[in-house]
Amino acid sequence: MTILGIGADIVECLRIAKMIERHGELFLQRVFTPYEIAYCQERKAATQHFAGRWAAKEAVLKAMGTGWTRGISWQDVEVRNEFGGKPQIVLGGGAKEICGGMGVQRVLITISHCRHYATAYAIAIGGE
């Protein structure tokens, strides 16, 4: 296995809360997938979970080295959770195409959050 890129991000939970308050469903549907919206809204501290997913999406794009260019949309990077809660990245659209071209086989992610901040760290992994 080869590490092809790393990325990290931190975001203030209050910033995400204000965006949700100001733009509501329009913001949520533009940035998050239906799965992510349902997952976060089921949580007691929904804003922290939305902020964690925001940070994860940013970290993944940094690991890819592309930023939000070349046809990548927010929903192309989805955070899902395994049975025990471990987050995993599911790529689609432009992000999946670009990662395929780079030889990225999977992206590892870790997310942490508290009342004030959410952070994520991503590692893009390729084959040998």
What is the mean predicted confidence (pLDDT) over 23-41?
96
pLDDT top residue among 85 and 128: 85
Domains of the chain: 2-126 (3.90.470.20)
Instruction: Give the whole-angstrom CA distance, residue 106 versus residue 96.
Output: 10
Strand locations in the chain (E): 2-12, 77-81, 87-91, 104-113, 117-126
- Number of C-alpha atoms within 13 angstroms, CB side, residue 125? 10
What is the mean predicted confidence (pLDDT) over 16-22?
96
Can 116 be counted among the known catalytic residues? no
Percent of residues, the chain, with pLDDT higher than 90: 82
Residue 79 CA: distances (Å) to CA of 2, 52, 55, 120, 128: 22, 9, 11, 11, 25
Catalytic residue among 23, 44, 49, 62: 62
Residue 65 confidence class, pLDDT cut points 50, 70, 90: confident
Can 57 be counted among the known catalytic residues? no
Identify the pLDDT of residue 42: 94
Say yes or no to pLDDT of 67 above 80: no
Identify the pLDDT of residue 128: 63
Identify the pLDDT of residue 108: 96
